[in-house]
Structure 1
Amino acid sequence: MESSKRLIAFDLDGTLNKTEVYALDAYRNTLKELGVGPFSDEEILDRFGATHEEDIKYFLGNDVTENQAKKYSITLDRYWQEAQSNKCESYPMVASTLQSLKENGYYLCICSNAPYDEIVGTLKRLDLFDYFDDIQGLTPECDKVYSLRELVKKHEPRSLTMVGDRYYDYLAAKENQATFIGCAYGYGKDEELKHADYVIHSIQEIESIMKVIC
């Protein structure tokens, strides 16, 4: 049965979280320690939004061994936690925009390719955790289409909007019949957002768009 919820699903990295302020250092240090690369900052930034498994193959190659993958994961997590604890920043106006959307009755969720615990930790460091009604991390299918589908199954919303900066977000929206708002200020290239229903250049633009959508 359809609920009365007007659900907005937000991607995290490149949408709410200015990930590069800590993640670039974490990736650089990991790749240097493992003797992998070189990779440019642009190449690293292009990975933001992908799954961890995809990153492993991108940086270490398709023939990566289980031990190499494990070492990469442990090393990246160590540098990631260290860097994030010192530098963590959301985009301008994120908190006030989320607050306004909540006050106007929207049901706010996270739909991310990151693991659940990592999402929670990041949101708490950004002081954004309390704005969200539900958090959906990566599913066993390792595909954001299924992550958004889980939110739809759980909440059966009256309206569904996906907000994100990458092609993964657009595809999730398309496959779940959601309106897609593309974030041009994030990490996606223009090509990834060319089929978006709306494109925004700052997070607060969502408020006026939502008044049109529902």
Structure 2
Amino acid sequence: MNKAVFFDMDGTLYKTELILGDALNQTLNKLDTLNIRYVEQPMNKYKKIMGVPMTEVWNQLLVTRSEEDIKSANGLLQEHLITNINDGKGELYQGVEEVLSHIKEQRYNIYIISNGEKAYLDAICEHHNLEGLVDGVYSINLINTSDKSDLVKKVIEEESVKAHYMVGDRASDFKAGKDNNIEIIGCRFYFSNDEELKEADYTVDSFRTIKQIIN
């Protein structure tokens, strides 16, 4: 059975903050024209809930929460996020390629496990040439629940791997690790929360520090 390391994407591998503000503002401007109402200071709200599935994001950000409104808002945001990715406005955290290469040298499989949309995740991997380092990209949309723990379990079963580490920055990552008996590496980066990070077995302030743990 191959051993594996699971990574979250937003705020862990990718500096989502570099593209999120612009994409969200463009989306909200369009929602104004559609008379779809949203909460005050939506970016601040989004930062607090970063890491939850997109349906939950829009349940929190929209005042009107019809299925049609959520679908419209999310479609617009995904479109703008992917455009910003392809325009080179975002970037990986410093050392990501180096650390992933190191992990591969240690004979681990690498999987991205995210609450993000599949097209969005694929756009990041393609633009930043991660395909050769990553063995699989799994979105929460692949399962019927919104629980990342279930997604991690699905990957373990489908890929027939022994997961050794779950690397992430938010509570959903840490819960997914604990529920599946995986050691947790918490990243104290842009979207992280110090209270949530207490659940991690290890905490890093630099992505390159992960090399010292997975060795």
Question: Given the two structures, how large is their TM-score scaled by the length of structure 2?
Answer: 0.89
In structure 2, the partner of 1:155 is 159
Which amino acid letter does the alignment assign opposite residue 130 of structure 1?
G
The alignment yields a C-alpha RMSD, in angstroms, of 1.7
1:14-33 paired onto structure 2 within 5 Å: 14-33=11-30
Q: Cα deviation per residue 1:51-101 (whole Å; 9 max; x = unaligned)?
A: 11001101114x512232232123223322332222120000111111111
Q: Between 20-29 and 35-44, report the one with greater CA deviation.
A: 35-44
Asked if structure 2 preserves the Cα contact closer than 8 Å seen for 1:27 and 1:44, the reply is no
1:79-118 paired onto structure 2 within 5 Å: 79-86=80-87, 87-118=89-120
Mapped partners of 1:57, 1:121: distance in 2: 25
In structure 2, the partner of 1:56 is 58
Task: Give the unaligned 5+ runs of structure 1.
Answer: none
Asked whether 1:8 is paired with 2:10, we answer no
Mapped partners of 1:153, 1:74: distance in 2: 31
Which amino acid letter does the alignment assign opposite residue 112 of structure 2?
I
Residues 1:209 and 1:76: Cα distance change in structure 2 (over 3 Å): same
**Aligned sequence identity (%):** 28
In structure 2, the partner of 1:173 is 177
Residues 1:206 and 1:66: Cα distance change in structure 2 (over 3 Å): same
For residue 109 of structure 1, report the CA deviation from its aligned partner.
0.8
Of the three residues 185, 191, 213, the one matched with 1:209 is 213
In structure 2, the partner of 1:142 is 146
Asked whether 1:130 is paired with 2:128, we answer no
Asked if structure 1 preserves the Cα contact closer than 8 Å seen for 2:156 and 2:162, the reply is no
Residues 1:7 and 1:69: Cα distance change in structure 2 (over 3 Å): same
For residue 32 of structure 1, report the CA deviation from its aligned partner.
3.1
For residue 38 of structure 1, report the CA deviation from its aligned partner.
3.0
Which secondary structure does the structure 2 equivalent of 1:136 belong to?
strand
Aligned residues: 207
For residue 168 of structure 1, report the CA deviation from its aligned partner.
0.2
Question: Given the two structures, how large is their TM-score scaled by the length of structure 1?
Answer: 0.89
Task: Give the unaligned 5+ runs of structure 2.
Answer: 33-37
Which amino acid letter does the alignment assign opposite residue 51 of structure 1?
P
Which secondary structure does the structure 2 equivalent of 1:129 belong to?
coil
For residue 159 of structure 1, report the CA deviation from its aligned partner.
4.5
For residue 40 of structure 1, report the CA deviation from its aligned partner.
5.4
Mapped partners of 1:41, 1:163: distance in 2: 25
Asked if structure 2 preserves the Cα contact closer than 8 Å seen for 1:165 and 1:183, the reply is yes
